[in-house]
Structure 1
Amino acid sequence: MGFAVMTMTDAAAARVKQIVASSGPEAQGVRVGIKKGGCAGMEYTIDLVTAANPKDDLMEHDGAKVWIEPSAVLYLLGTQMDFEISRIRSGFTFVNPNQTSACGCGESVELKPADLAALAKQREAEAHA
């Protein structure tokens, strides 16, 4: 079994399926990426997918499809994608172990690449437990 780059909550999967259902017959899912910007240095991006990119990693949960841009994989390893609704805002959120800080508004984050050696040791320890 391969290592999943990201996981997705039931709430995130439900929201992805709603987006696909309301976006027309060509919509397949969403693509998550990272771009430079914001006051903390980086921002998550989410775009509608109408044609899958074979280089992207695919994550599926409960019928929802999320592709991950190759350039974002090292920054997103171990991340959980969620969808939250509050009195002030609604949107996708990311619990990312590679995040070192965030701006006050929560729209911009500082990320470091994942430590692949530490992840490998963690997987090995879990396999022997």
Structure 2
Amino acid sequence: MINLTENAAAHISNYLKNRGKGEGIRVGVKTSGCSGLAYVLEFVDEVDTHDQMFVQHGVNVFVDPKSLVYLDGMEMDYVKNGLNEGFEFNNPNKKGECGCGESFTV
């Protein structure tokens, strides 16, 4: 399961509303960076029947089966810290990350 905080769900809902379309957001991983994996976020306009779907605070979150192995139990938050803002991933499966924080390993 992927958990969204209320802040993350509100941010995603606003983006979907401004886009005028979309079934939700897909969260996944891809091979990248010096540690191995990086998070991928994309809007879902057409549901893939293979995806697992979770509903959090009224937002549909889709995860493909291969990514779910690495993301199960993760919490996504949306934070503003001074001039910086963005999603933060609290992933209990993560064992380490690269120095720049762009990729992680499990």
Above 0.5 in TM-score? yes
Matched, 1:109 2:104: yes
What are the ranges of 5 or more consecutive residues in structure 1 without an aligned counterpart? 112-129
Matched, 1:6 2:9: no
Is 1:16–1:65's contact at 8 Å kept on the other side of the alignment?
no
Using the size of structure 2 for normalisation, the TM-score is: 0.91
What are the ranges of 5 or more consecutive residues in structure 2 without an aligned counterpart? none
Paired AA for residue 6 in structure 2: D
Higher strand share: 2
Per-residue deviation at 1:105? 2.2
Using CA pairs below 8 Å that are at least 6 residues apart, which structure has the higher relative contact order? 2
SS in 2 for 1:67: strand
Higher helix share: 1
Identity among equivalent pairs (%): 34
Per-residue deviation at 1:100? 0.6
Runs of 4+ in 1 over 4 A off after TM superposition: none
In structure 2, what is the equivalent of residue 100 of structure 1? 95
Aligned residues: 106
In structure 2, what is the equivalent of residue 70 of structure 1? 65
